[in-house]
Structures are given as structure tokens and as C-alpha cells.
Amino acid sequence: MKRIIALFSGEGTNLANLIEKIHHKHALITCAITNNPEAGGIAKARAAGIPVEICDHTQFDTREAYDAALVEMIREYDPDLVVLCGFMRILTPVFTSQIRSINLHPSLLPAYKGAKAIERSFESGDQTCGVSVHWVSDELDGGEIIAQRSFNRSEDETLESFTAKIRAIEHEILPLSVIAIVKES
């Protein structure tokens, strides 16, 4: 069974979804790594018996130094794939040139790259919005698209209802993408 490492920064809702839908079914999540010692996802991973590593970015002077430590930590687990699921770090070539990884992004890339993509997409007034899964590359949210799924905004859309639609799509598209990748490799 293929080995996966999940990187996360926050509550870990996408991590929990991956645990439910793929762990021990399609692949093994051998470790969950966070840059945030207070991340809610830590408890979710531990509850599933998944080892958690904390690589706190505030303990490093540069992005490159952080990425080097992260790469070293990842290599200890020898994963087949690294999945960024709400990992809120801009990664440098120190990481991107060495680690085969995919990222979940809450917009239809190339639109709304970077932070606050949900809010920017909502405020744009775009009729069609959605979620992307892409290969991580040197360019922020610029790697080859693996999958996208869209929805049409309703006339009475609120930020809360919009966010709920994005989250629902994330919970479908990320596990499906991971399953497809591990079956191909």
C-alpha cells in the first residue's frame, strides 16, 4: 500500500476527510506534519493513530531553512506522495525540487492564487467558482492541474454558504485525486 504524508496548518478538516476516505483503504497516511503547534488537526491525526510531527516555522530564520528541515523530516518517512491539505506555507525550491507533492486550493486556478482565495473568489462576483488540486511547483499555486470541480453561485449566496460549497467540493475532490495518483504510481 502506498505511503502518504499529509501537511496541514489548521483545524485539519481535510486531513480528517483523508483519514476517513483513504487511510487503510487506498493508502496509508504514515505521518501528519504541521507548522502550527496549536493546530486542531493534531488531535484528529492522533485520534486515528497517525504519528504527528510539528515543524514550527517560527523557529527558522528563512523559508529555505524551514523547507530544508521539512524535507529532512519528510524523507525519514519515505513517502510515495505528500499531500498539502490546508498547509499555509509558501514553499521554496528547497522543497519543491525534492518532494513529490500535491496541493488542494479553494479556487478554480489560475484564479485567486495564494491566501484568502475563498474570500477573494466570493467577492469577485464570478458566477462559476470551485476547487483545484494541482501538483506543487516552484510557482505559488501554479503547478499542473490534476482536477477541478466547479459550482454556480446562487443569487442569494452568502460567504458562509459559499464557503460550505467549497468545503464540500474539497472533501470530494482531494481524496479522489489521491486515490487516482496512488493507483497510477
- Is residue 34 within 8 Å of 9, Cβ to Cβ? yes
The amino acid present at 23, given as its one-letter code, is H
What is the pLDDT, as a whole number, of residue 185? 78
Q: Is 167:149 a contact under the CB 8 Å cutoff?
A: no
Strand 28-34's sheet: what is its strand order? 52-54, 28-34, 3-8, 81-84, 101-105, 128-135, 145-152
Q: Is 67 helix (H, G, I), strand (E, B) or coil?
A: helix
Distance CA(140)–CA(114), nearest Å, equals: 7
**Global pTM exceeds 0.85:** yes
User: Active-site residues: which are they?
Assistant: 105
The C-alpha atoms of residue 122 and residue 107 are separated, in whole angstroms, by: 10
Question: pLDDT tens across 155-168, in order?
Answer: 999 999 999 999 99
- State the average pLDDT for the chain: 97
Residue identified by cell 467549497 is 166
Total residues belonging to the chain: 185
C-alpha 68/C-alpha 59 separation (Å) is 13
| Residue range 23-60, pLDDT digits in tens | 999 999 999 999 999 999 999 999 999 999 999 999 99
- Cβ neighbours around 169 below 10 Å, total: 20
Q: Is the peptide bond before 51 cis (omega within 30 degrees of 0)?
A: no
116 pLDDT exceeds 90? yes
Closest CA to 44 of 84, 3, 1, 8: 8
The DSSP symbol for 155 reads T
**Burial readout 30-58 (b: 16 or more C-beta within 10 A, e: otherwise):** bbbbbbbeebbbbebbeebebebbebebe
pLDDT on residue 165:
97
